[in-house]
Amino acid sequence: MKPFIDKARTCTWLAAILLSTTLAGCSQLGGLGKPPAAPKVQQPADSDGEDRPTQVASTPNPYLANPVSAPRQAQALFAQALTALQGQQWQKAEVLLQELTVEHPQLSGPWLNLGIVYRRTDRLEQAQQAFAQAIAANGKNLDAYNQLAVVKREQGDFAGAEGLYLQALEVWPQHAASHRNIGILYDLYLGQFDKALLHFESYQQLQQEPDRQIAGWIIDLKRRLQNVARVEGQP
């Protein structure tokens, strides 16, 4: 099946990728923080007939559940770097984060955010190296897999992006952002609608409340799959 690209929806898809891979977990220095709350139980269907997420067994995010200790000085420097990053002070953030990666190369958070600085300043090769370093420092840093996957996608390496999302899901099968992002990859870039549907449904099951945008994408995918089946079934 050839890839299907709906250009009218491209901006929406890409915005979803950037949101989930730039804001989620990037404030973690090396695994500091508490695991997120478990998803609430959802009923399979409501009175209006709309599908609802079903309950999934909850396990903690292994990255957040296994915090890495960091010196107080490093934490303070990292906080300054995040403030600069949030203010789009790229040069200042870069200097601070580079200092952290030199003094504390075992911490994945500085590598991850340094990669974000490189990516936001159009240095994709350096971004790729920084994200790879983040994964090497902590193989449970799911945001690093997702960020590197976005770089691979921007370089046209869709297979590489797919592999990274799948690696993230091997680390933690309940990582909602990875399900959403690989679903977007399958739908928008690879035209593998059945796989996209599977991951969007998995993403929806992990939400405390149904995501209306994802629900719309699921409906659209089911409609397209039905159309493909109808065409293929014709003599």
Lowest mean pLDDT among 39-43, 76-80, 163-167, 203-207: 39-43
What mean pLDDT do residues 42-53 have?
A: 37
Q: Which fold has domain 13-23+68-233?
A: 1.25.40
Both structure tokens of 233? 């079934």
E runs forming strands in the chain: none
What mean pLDDT do residues 18-34 have?
A: 43
End-to-end CA distance of the chain: 18
Residue 36 pLDDT > 80, yes or no? no
- d(C-alpha 62, C-alpha 132), whole Å: 18
What mean pLDDT do residues 154-162 have?
A: 97
pTM: predicted TM-score of the whole model, two decimal places: 0.78
Residue 4 pLDDT > 80, yes or no? no
List phi, psi (to 5°) of 57: -65, 130
- d(C-alpha 32, C-alpha 29), whole Å: 6
Torsion of Cα atoms, 96 then 99 then 103 then 106, to 10°: 70
